[in-house]
Amino acid sequence: MSTFDQDNRLQWVERISRLMDSQFRVPGTNWRFGLDPLMGLIPVVGGLPSLAISGVLILTMMRHGASGQLVVRMLLNVILDTVFGAIPVIGNIFDFAYKANDRNVRLLRRHYAEGKYQGSGRGLLLVVLLVFFALGGLVIWGVWEVGSALWHYLAQHSWQ
């Protein structure tokens, strides 16, 4: 039985989480931040790399013993961070304060300390991937439908 600190892959998760949420310190303060709020400053697409990295971290934690209940809590942290982080100005402030990845690592550490880790989360991983593919398909279908409607509208009104 390995502990959180003995597992190199989980140490990798902790290092990436720190880089994203708390790697840098504002001089003269205890206030810490990472790359996540900095990427959030890029309009429209700034939150996408952060969301992808958070997803990889959660998948890694799932593969190394996070229970289904814990993964749901982690996903809620990331969704909350993503939704509020997408709001201009307020989202940037939220990103500096919330630190979803650091929260998720603390949750997993506590999970390990309590001896609740369960090994592989392949079943839950499959369900999560199916849901993401379904949502992705719905988004693609929605964009197609909106684009098609717009195309037809413009085609009808541009000839008059």
Q: How confident is the model at residue 3 (pLDDT cuts 50, 70, 90)?
A: low
**Neighbour count for residue 57 (Cβ, 10 Å):** 23
pLDDT in tens, 115-134: 766 655 566 666 766 776 78
pLDDT of residue 28: 93
Identify whether the C-beta of residue 118 lies closer than 8 Å to the C-beta of residue 67. Answer: yes
CB-based contacts of 3, cutoff 8 Å, min separation 6: 112
Helix (H), strand (E) counts: the chain: 7, 2
Identify whether the C-beta of residue 100 lies closer than 8 Å to the C-beta of residue 53. Answer: no
Instruction: Give the whole-angstrom CA distance, residue 58 versus residue 66.
Output: 9
pLDDT of residue 111: 82
Locate tokens 């001089």: which residue?
A: 27
Identify whether the C-beta of residue 91 lies closer than 8 Å to the C-beta of residue 40. Answer: yes
pLDDT in tens, 135-158: 778 888 888 999 999 999 888 887
- AA identity, residue 144: W
